[in-house]
Structure 1
Amino acid sequence: MHILIVRNNSNSQAQDASLLLVTYLATQGIDYTVVDSSKLASPLAAPELSALFDHGVDMAVALGGDGTILRTARQVGFHGTPILGINYGRLGFLANPNESGVMEPLTAALAGDTTEEARANLSIHVICEGEADPFNDVEGDDADEPREFFALNEVAVTRGANGRIIDFGLDVSGSHLATMRGDGLVVASATGSTAYALSAGGPLVAPGFTGLVAVPIAPHTLHSRAVVTSPSDVIEMDLSENADSRDATLFIDGELVELDRPLRRLYVRRGPVATTLLRYKDEGFYNHAAKVFF
């Protein structure tokens, strides 16, 4: 058995908890790897951890807030490795509370006494200026495959550093819904519906929902609404008519993605393998939401 421990090194409680964990795991003869969450800030998976998952990781333990869990989930990607999150942050909407300490949830997870909660995630393909678009039968000067990213919460395309609003089209599974101008677009999973999408005016969605939520950000229109899709739908954001002077910026789970060319199209669909969160003494989504949001 091998366990990955991702801790927020800027939090002393998370550091202390990790020391307890590694001491216990060593006495049980269980292999482990400890990594600082700040080293996982890039939306691209850390190569050394990717190799680790290729050899097999039985469980990931995230010690920190929701940001630590998001970074851990990105490293897990579509491997299906369960994640035990223990909250040492502020909101902790995705994590287990730390009132019981760190050992009770860990030993419960090792014994199979936690609840597995499957969360739909996002598979994101990015097409930039001059690149081939196999989804739209468009050839380009770059023969490489489209850039692919993972997100548990959301992908957001927003206006860039010059502050000018952007022009974009919104399509769902080949059907054109709208052409609009505004600050951008958030496409979220049910998990991400409680994050940026909620702040942008989107709905609160139960975590078991496996479709997508698309929420325009500050659109320059009186007719804009959030769109909730079916699980098999693909959301396309078309920026091919957006002027270069109206630069667009890409964020995935709150992390900036630096692109070497202007963004032209974005395709978002449900990921092929769900993210599994382990729940210990779970109080339930609605009880938690009532405390946090109402």
Structure 2
Amino acid sequence: MNLLIVRNNSNSQAIDASLLLATYLGTQGIDYAVFDSSDLQGLAPNPLVSDQLARGVDMAVVLGGDGTILRTARAVGVSGVPILGINFGRLGFLANESEDGVVAIVAAALAGETVSERRSNLRVDIVCEGESDPWASPDADVDMASSHEEKVSTWFDDDECEGEESSQEGAGGHTFFALNEAAVTRGANGRIVDFSLSISDVHIAEMRGDGLVVATATGSTAYALSAGGPLVAPGFDGLIAVPIAPHSLRARAMLTSANDVVEMDLSQNAAGREATLFIDGEMAEFSSPIKRMYVRRGAEPTTLLRYKGENFYEYASSVFF
């Protein structure tokens, strides 16, 4: 048995809890490795965490709030390692309350007395200016329905994304994992961006505004909610596409089916209108402007462990209403 412990190192209670948990695991003969949340900051993988995952991790215990859980989920990626979050933050939508103590909660999880929630995540592919686009729309004389079916089949058979960025200049190889959302927003110059939105090769609209959020059901309570999107129950497997401050009276959030691919095309965006990508709140940096973003459901869900958890609707009613 080997556990990965990630603690919010800016929270003294989380640090104390990690020391208590380490003592308990030592008495049980359970191997563990402790990492600070700051070790997982940014989108680049931590090699020490990757090494732990390669050796085999049975469970990740997160001592912190939702931000620490998001960083841990990105580190775990699509490995299937379940995440037990214990809240030492604020909202704690993804975490369990800590009143019973970390030892009791972790002991319950080790005994199989928690409930597993399988949450959809996102695979985000970015193509920048000057890079080839393997997912570009086919020529007009190609049958669109069969082309989309073939494209989706290819993407869902591809398990390249494992919680880290893969970047291959010239090949359109920027791939990211997200549990909450991917957001392309206006850049440092503050000017709105021009983009087109398509879903599964069907053009939806030309838009101007602050950008676009593509979220999971898990992320529906985060940035997507602030941008005017709906609250969505965790079991929903599709995507939520929400324009950010669109310069239109008609733009609305859209919910897709599980196998749809959301495309944001910025190829016609003016050179002076910068666009910035954020993955679960972490900024991604590129050497050239973003040309297109493709978002689809990840190949494997993220598993969250619930210990005496509240019902989603009970929690939502207490927080948002």
Contact 1:3–1:60, Cα closer than 8 Å, also in 2: yes
Residue 234 of structure 1 aligns with an amino acid whose one-letter code is V
Superposition map of 1:193-212 within 5 A: 193-212=220-239
Are 2:234 and 1:226 aligned? Answer: no
Q: 2:279 aligns with which of 232, 249, 252?
A: 252
In 1: Cα distance, 2:170 partner to 2:181 partner: 27
**1:80-124 per-position Cα deviation (integer Å, ceiling 9, x unaligned):** 100000000011111001111111110000000000000000001
Q: Secondary structure at the match of 2:206?
A: strand
Are 2:143 and 1:116 aligned? Answer: no
Q: Kindly state the Cα deviation for residue 149 of structure 1 after the two structures are TM-superposed.
A: 0.3
Q: Kindly state the Cα deviation for residue 51 of structure 1 after the two structures are TM-superposed.
A: 2.4
Q: 2:193 aligns with which of 149, 154, 166?
A: 166
In 2: Cα distance, 1:114 partner to 1:63 partner: 17
Specify the alignment match of 2:135 in structure 1: 135
Contact 1:65–1:90, Cα closer than 8 Å, also in 2: yes
Specify the alignment match of 2:302 in structure 1: 275
Q: Kindly state the Cα deviation for residue 54 of structure 1 after the two structures are TM-superposed.
A: 1.9
In 2: Cα distance, 1:74 partner to 1:93 partner: 17
Q: Kindly state the Cα deviation for residue 143 of structure 1 after the two structures are TM-superposed.
A: 4.0
Specify the alignment match of 2:6 in structure 1: 6
What is the root-mean-square deviation of aligned Cα atoms in Å?
A: 1.2
In 1: Cα distance, 2:170 partner to 2:246 partner: 34
Q: Kindly state the Cα deviation for residue 209 of structure 1 after the two structures are TM-superposed.
A: 0.4
Q: Secondary structure at the match of 1:265?
A: strand
TM-score by length of 1: 0.97
Q: Secondary structure at the match of 1:117?
A: strand
**1:119-160 per-position Cα deviation (integer Å, ceiling 9, x unaligned):** 00000101001011101179xx94435211000000000000
In 2: Cα distance, 1:196 partner to 1:123 partner: 17
Gaps of 5+ in 1: none
Specify the alignment match of 2:243 in structure 1: 216
Q: Secondary structure at the match of 1:286?
A: helix
Q: Kindly state the Cα deviation for residue 270 of structure 1 after the two structures are TM-superposed.
A: 0.3
Residue 214 of structure 2 aligns with an amino acid whose one-letter code is V
Superposition map of 1:52-91 within 5 A: 52-91=52-91
Specify the alignment match of 2:173 in structure 1: 146
Specify the alignment match of 2:150 in structure 1: none
Gaps of 5+ in 2: 139-167
In 2: Cα distance, 1:47 partner to 1:178 partner: 41
Q: Kindly state the Cα deviation for residue 256 of structure 1 after the two structures are TM-superposed.
A: 0.9
Residue 266 of structure 1 aligns with an amino acid whose one-letter code is M
Residue 232 of structure 2 aligns with an amino acid whose one-letter code is V
**1:56-97 per-position Cα deviation (integer Å, ceiling 9, x unaligned):** 110000100100000000001000100000000011111001
Contact 1:132–1:142, Cα closer than 8 Å, also in 2: no
Specify the alignment match of 1:287 in structure 2: 314
**1:222-270 per-position Cα deviation (integer Å, ceiling 9, x unaligned):** 1100010000000000000011200001100011111111001000000
Residue 283 of structure 2 aligns with an amino acid whose one-letter code is L
Contact 2:185–2:211, Cα closer than 8 Å, also in 1: yes
Q: Which moved more, 1:226-235 or 1:51-60?
A: 51-60
Residue 68 of structure 1 aligns with an amino acid whose one-letter code is T
Structure 1 runs (4+) deviating above 2 angstroms are: 141-145
Contact 1:62–1:72, Cα closer than 8 Å, also in 2: yes
Specify the alignment match of 1:95 in structure 2: 95
Contact 2:114–2:307, Cα closer than 8 Å, also in 1: yes
Specify the alignment match of 2:157 in structure 1: none
Are 2:215 and 1:188 aligned? Answer: yes
In 2: Cα distance, 1:256 partner to 1:265 partner: 16
In 1: Cα distance, 2:172 partner to 2:285 partner: 17
Specify the alignment match of 1:38 in structure 2: 38
In 2: Cα distance, 1:266 partner to 1:111 partner: 42
Contact 1:182–1:220, Cα closer than 8 Å, also in 2: yes
In 2: Cα distance, 1:77 partner to 1:19 partner: 26
Contact 2:117–2:306, Cα closer than 8 Å, also in 1: yes
In 2: Cα distance, 1:130 partner to 1:137 partner: 17
Aligned pair count? Answer: 292
Specify the alignment match of 2:163 in structure 1: none
Contact 1:169–1:239, Cα closer than 8 Å, also in 2: yes
Q: Secondary structure at the match of 2:286?
A: coil
